[in-house]
Amino acid sequence: MKEFVEYIVKNLVDHPDQVVINEIGGTHTLIIELSVEKSDIGKIIGKKGKTINAIRTLLMSVASRNGIRVNLEIIEDSKEEEKND
C-alpha cells in the first residue's frame, strides 16, 4: 500500500523528494500518514478535496480486496512551523 500511495503522490507534487509516508498497521486496519512539502498540500487535497478523496477511494478499493480497512491522513510538518516562530 505504501508504494501505491507513494507512486500516486510523487507524481502529483512539485517536490517528490519531500514526500514521507508512514504505515501504522493493526490486524484489520492500516493507517497511512502522508507528509509533503507545505506548498504541495493543496495539490494533494485538490479543489473541494476531490483529489484526496479519489486517492482514498482507490486505497479503500485495493484494501477491501485484501480484507483490511485503510485510512489516509495528511500530516502537516510541525518542524517547519517552529522554524518560522
Q: What is the pLDDT of residue 25?
A: 87
Q: What is the dotted CATH code of the domain comprising 2-76?
A: 3.30.300.20
Q: What are the extents of the domains in the chain?
A: 2-76
Cell numbers at 65, concatenated: 480486496
pLDDT by residue (tens digit) across 33-48? Answer: 999 999 999 999 999 9
With cell 480484507, the residue in question is: 67
Contact 75, 36 (CB under 8 A): no
Question: Angle between the 50-65 and 2-10 helix axes, to the nearest 10 degrees?
Answer: 160
pLDDT band at 73 (very low <50, low <70, confident <90, very high): very high
pLDDT by residue (tens digit) across 1-22? Answer: 899 999 999 999 999 999 999 9
What sign does the CA torsion over 11, 14, 17, 20 have?
negative
Contact 44, 52 (CB under 8 A): yes
